[in-house]
Amino acid sequence: MLKNTLFFLFLFLFGFSFSQQSIHGVITDRETKEPMPYVSVSLSNSKRGTISNAQGHFSFNLNQQDTSTYLLFTHIGYNILKVKITRTNFPVVVTMEQKINELSEVLIMPENSLAKLLKSAYEKIDENYPVSKTRYLGFYRESSKGESKEYLSYGEAYIEAIRGSINLKNDKGQIKILKSRGGYLPGAETTIHFYGGAFLSTQDFIQKRLNFIDPSHFNRYRYIIQKLDEYYKVSFSSKSEESGYSGYFILDPQSLAYLEAKYKRFGSYDLELFYDKKESEFYDKFIGIEGKYYLKYRNFNGSGIDKIKRTKIYYFDEYLSTEIYPNT
């Protein structure tokens, strides 16, 4: 019953207004039949859109003023898919096809040339991202599970967020919760609670200037650059086995803007008295609006050990921008 309830909550993640027509479904890979996460879904000839979640599910509300009759599905490495809106037979299953000859080529370039490219991307951050404060409206949801993979807690909220200038590294912005619901479930396997996840909406790897994009830390990482579709995919890993990050980020070759990144952190963490953090993984995705890039979607998942009960805890947070107001 809980699983059905959580799925129902997701289907209405834009909800809070049942007067709108909701289109929802799941996106899969045509070849593997597996769900596809983080696919961009938008109305054709419109800036309005959403992102499929980690399980490939998406939900989109049509307003009365929407005139478009098609949804566009885009994902790096896949053909753009255009689907006619029928407003019936939901949920729908959308299948996307990988581009032919999509095996990406590894670009061989001198180490100093690669470093110069990455340094240029870093130096253009204030050109590619907003230096003034930006107002966002968005949807946030969180959940935690115990070692048995049964839910311990869940929550979701419609929030208003103010993000600071991209040049203010330590500005964590402001959050206002407009509507919310959730709670802790009986029979929990732990007494540890997590707070502050909604601040996913005001922070990302660019705002934080994480060291894998910072030129002063390049000597701590190994980088491999690939031509993927019309973009550059830069994979990185820490040279140290004790601490650092590993993952990838996508660069636009023309603007050198960071379009998305997926990365894991490992090694030393802040010491917690009752909790031992083991793993954490992030995914950040941005959307271009009039020459600047804004956070569209972000998620975080991790695990750790309850030192008192000696059980493992899994947790997942995600945020999706539904409206973005630059220069607020």
Question: 85 — phi, psi (to 5°)?
Answer: -80, 120
Least confident of 64-78, 153-167, 210-224: 64-78
pLDDT tens per residue across span 120-134: 999 999 999 999 899
Least confident of 41-45, 154-158, 189-193: 189-193
What SS3 state is found at 120? helix
Number of domains in the chain: 2
pLDDT at 249 over 60: yes
Residue 89: which CATH number? 2.60.40.1120
Domain span at residue 34? 2-96
Give the pLDDT band of residue 90 (cuts 50, 70, 90). Answer: low
Same domain, 177 and 304: yes
Q: Point out the domain boundary residue: 50, 75, 96.
A: 96
DSSP H stretches of helix in the chain:
2-11, 111-123, 125-128
Q: What is the percentage of the chain residues whose pLDDT exceeds 70?
A: 86
The residues with which 140 forms a beta bridge, in sequence order, are 157, 319
pTM of the model: 0.83
Residue 87 CA, chain-centre distance (Å), reads 27
With 0-12 / 13-18 / 19 or more C-beta atoms within 10 angstroms meaning exposed / middle / buried, residue 204 is buried
Same domain, 204 and 281: yes
Same domain, 116 and 83: no
Same domain, 273 and 133: yes
What distance in Å separates the CA atoms of residue 116 and residue 225, rounded to the nearest whole number?
A: 13
Q: Point out the domain boundary residue: 67, 96, 125.
A: 96
Least confident of 34-43, 61-70, 79-88: 61-70
What distance in Å separates the CA atoms of residue 321 and residue 234, rounded to the nearest whole number?
A: 25
Same domain, 86 and 133: no
- CA neighbor of 35 nearest in space, from 54, 22, 49: 54
Residue 77's pLDDT is 83
